[in-house]
Structure 1
Amino acid sequence: MRMPPTDWANRRGLAALIAALDQKARFVGGAVRDTLLDREVKDVDIATPLLPDDVMERLKAASIKVVPTGIAHGTVTAVLPDGPVEITTLRRDVSTDGRRATVAFSDDWQEDAARRDFTINALSADPQTLEIFDYFDGLDDLEHLRIRFIGSAGERIAEDHLRIMRYFRFLARFGQQQVDEEAFNACTAAAEKLETLSRERVADELLKLLSTTDPKFAISKMQSTGIFDHIVEEIDEHAGDFLDQIVAREERLQIKPTAIRRLVALLPKDAEKASRIAKSLKLSKKMQRAIAERHIPDFSVGAEKRGANLADIRALAYRTHLGAARDIALLFADDGALPDLLAQLKDWQVPTFPLTGGYLIERGLTPGPIVAQTLAKIEAAWIAQGFPDETWIKKFVEEQDLTSQS
């Protein structure tokens, strides 16, 4: 079987790269797999029996910029006009401990393919002839969208415990509603090993899983077997149903899914618990803030409240930002109210409060804490009135007896 001709295989500079490697190279991994599925290919990876130093020298001699991005593990990156291409020397595992592997370089293509996790990821293709090499019946699994480990599922997971998370991510990505029994049972049996991994690695896989078009089935299988217990300390008992509802809303309203919105659907609705879990997953501070914004416990308007009633979605957007307000509506609004709430945010520009403390002082307010307090009071009134223009604000200020507040 041959891989069909594709645009990515004709990227500028790619033919020169292959020639520099003396044709001792193959396309590997996702580029081959996704091409056969007629899906978009973003990253192009190449494998070669040539050693990393040799690869570097050859590319430099061909005037191709190359960066030693992971040379200790056999990987360098060629910088081409249409995007980077990773080139990795064939390898074999010397030892593994579930978290990392010690490798040695190899010249055996099948030995290198055997290191990969799933049969559909072990396919490779000759750049010239586009002939596909399949050592583990990956083509048949790909035809049936079957996610199956290479060889013994238990052994593959013992080599790298993160493969448990990858199994469910691929299950979700390819839209499967059934599991390979050996793979599923091996993941379930080894689930507690997830606790030995860095939280960053686990969280990264979880977010990738939640970014797939429809993660509901994969998440439900992880919940029903208790696998989630080894990822987060607790999730909402109705999290699966809530996630189903959010995914359905995204599909119905044609809203692009986001991992953060879906993660919020899984987390407890208690803001403190959700924040604690976000920290335990070692999410970035930006992601932790995003989760906190979507867990506002009090939606009432007020000078010291960072929220607004869902009926006033623009006030909520002002107090947080448009993305957070949209997500809160998707997460918490009633079905009947949701379309109108989203319509209010569409094409709306969040206004800037046009008043400053200096203006109040000019109007007679004594400098000090009272300035900030008065500004907050006026801002709350401005929000409640639907963000009127500066003329309204100045008239409102004129009606206040600022001198009596000094």
Structure 2
Amino acid sequence: MSSGTKRIEANWLKEADTRTVMEALGAGARFVGGVVRNELMGEPVSDIDIAIAETPERAQALLEAKGIKVVPTGIEHGTITAVMPSRHYEITTLRVDVKTDGRRAEVEFTEDWVEDAKRRDFTINALYADADGTVHDPLGTGLDDIRMRRVRFIGDANQRIAEDYLRVLRFFRFHAWYGKGEPDADGLKACAEARENLRQLSGERVSVELLKIAAADEAGSAFRQMAAAGILSVVLPEASRLDRFENLVEIERDQLFTCDPLLRLASMFDLDKAGVEALAARLRLSNRERARIAAMLTDQTKIVAYLSIREVRKALYLIGVQCFKDRVMLGWAADRKGHNTFQWRALLAMADSWQRPDFPLTGQMVKAAGVPEGPEIGRVSREVEEWWVDADFTDDEFSIIERLKAVVQATVY
């Protein structure tokens, strides 16, 4: 194993729970993958994954001997999870793939760190670190690629992709998040050649990767590269509005807005309700995700930068805050003039401060006006509500009652 003098210093290394887990596992355990990569690149660290030369059963016994709760989350593939008060630690036994079909792998456990590194996807993910932060680069290429911010497959790119076709999308995701310059040529070529195999993947796995790509600062370039390689037409043939998507990414970045991956993804589409249903079914989106995309793409409410305050209140009441803000962002991203930033921001601010008014008319009031029990009460109430909304939510009770009387006299008697 190639081991240099590179050492990382990080708060997560010093956390009491981290030290407790590593001490329980012993010298045969090392941090691995994203936690090492991100620390070396100066990126935020969230999950802490650990690799160990012991079998999963032995690792579990070591942890439980120290009173640490263990969940066998994927023990057949060598993975257990140590549950600590501050965070969970995923611990996986070193392994090699003995059989793959592009979607899943059969593994055997090993004690060889080099063999474990070889089965990983990219060189920047094949780095390990001891409990004291000493970095190990078994393949001798990861640290250089970290320094160059270069995303490369380990060994033969075609072989790595054949082991799991999702690595095609991961290639673009990792380059968008961590890469610099143009994507690795060999990797790009291998991804393009394997694009049809993406049809074998489950919708859930594809949608998760697409949303992660969409969340990157360089998402616009990533999706353009995927389109040029013929990959986007395979996984997302509905993506006809990359221009609007790129504008939205730029707006969120320039205005320091929190990234909204689902909104970004939806901005690529011009779909009717049936189109959204088909997309959601294929990508196995949740009911909430499907409903939100359908609302923002099919709603016909007029949303423009120059809406009056009265028009804003009406739109918010009719379509709700979430749909209104989504429509504003899509309208902003489609705005070619480039000088309406203040107006678009003002619409978002009004939405954030808006409080939905309560319709003052009750069913009892409608009934007292002479409307019989049944569906007529709901119909008359909706008629008056439409007027009340158009009247900018007047709180004049006399005017509301007069309108109720007029509706009853004209449509009930």
TM-score by length of 2: 0.90
Greater alpha carbon shift after TM alignment, 133-142 vs 184-193: 133-142
In the aligned structure 1, how far is the partner of 2:295 from the partner of 2:281? 15
What is the CA–CA distance in structure 1 between the aligned matches of 2:360 and 2:181, rounded to whole Å?
Answer: 54
Aligned to 1:83: 87
1:35 maps onto 2:39 in alignment: yes
**Amino acid in structure 2 at the alignment position of 1:62:** K
Superposition pairs for residues 7-406 of structure 1, below 5 Å?
A: 7-174=11-178, 176-236=180-240, 239-299=241-301, 312-333=311-332, 334=335, 336=340, 337-389=343-395, 391=397, 394-397=400-403, 400=406, 402=408, 405-406=411-412
Q: Which stretch shifts more, 133-142 or 202-211? A: 133-142
The aligned amino acid for 1:342 is L
Which deviates more, 111-120 or 339-348? 339-348
Letter in 2 for 1:294: M
| Closer/same/farther in 2, CA of residues 398 and 198 from structure 1, 3 Å limit | closer
Shift of 1:82: 1.1
The 2-side partners of 1:321 and 1:403 are apart by: 32
Q: Which has the higher helix share?
A: 2
Distance in 2 (CA, whole Å) between partners of 1:176 and 1:372 is 60
Query: What do residues 236-255 of structure 1 show as CA deviations (whole Å, max 9, x unaligned)?
Result: 1xx22111111122123222
Given that residues 173 and 213 in structure 1 are in contact (C-alpha distance below 8 angstroms), is that contact kept between their aligned partners in structure 2?
Answer: yes
> Is the contact made by 1:299 and 1:310 (CA closer than 8 Å) also made in structure 2?
no
SS of residue in 2 equivalent to 1:131? strand
Displacement of 1:348: 1.9
Amino acid at match of 2:346: D
1:4 paired residue number: 8
Change (3 A) 1:133 1:326: same
Cα shift readout 1:183-232 (whole Å, capped 9, x = no counterpart): 00000010000001111111111011111223000000111222111113
Higher relative contact order (CA 8 A, sep 6+): 2
Post-superposition Cα deviations, 1:280-332, rounded to whole Å, max 9, x if no partner, equal 2111111100101111242269xxxxxxx966333333333322211111102
Paired amino acid for 1:278: A
> Structure 2 regions of 5+ residues with no counterpart?
none
User: Following the alignment from structure 1 to structure 2, what is the Cα–Cα distance between the partners of residues 300 and 216?
Assistant: 28
| Structure 1 Cα separation of the partners of residues 395 and 83 of structure 2 | 51
Deviating above 6 A after TM superposition, structure 1's stretches of 4 or more consecutive aligned residues are none
Q: Is the 8 A contact 1:18 1:24 kept in 2?
A: no
Say whether the 8 Å CA contact 1:357–1:375 is kept in structure 2.
Answer: yes
8 Å CA contact 2:96, 2:115 repeated in 1: yes
Q: CA deviation at 1:102?
A: 0.4
Give the drift of 1:392: 6.9
Question: Distance between the aligned counterparts of 2:397 and 2:62, measured in 1?
Answer: 69
Note the C-alpha offset of 1:80: 1.0
- Deviation, 1:131, is 3.4
Alpha carbons of structure 1 residues 351 and 143: separation in structure 2 relative to 1, 3 Å: farther
Which ranges in structure 1 are unaligned for 5 or more consecutive residues?
A: 302-308
> Contact 1:122–1:134 at 8 Å: present in 2 too?
yes
**Backbone CA RMSD of aligned residues:** 2.2
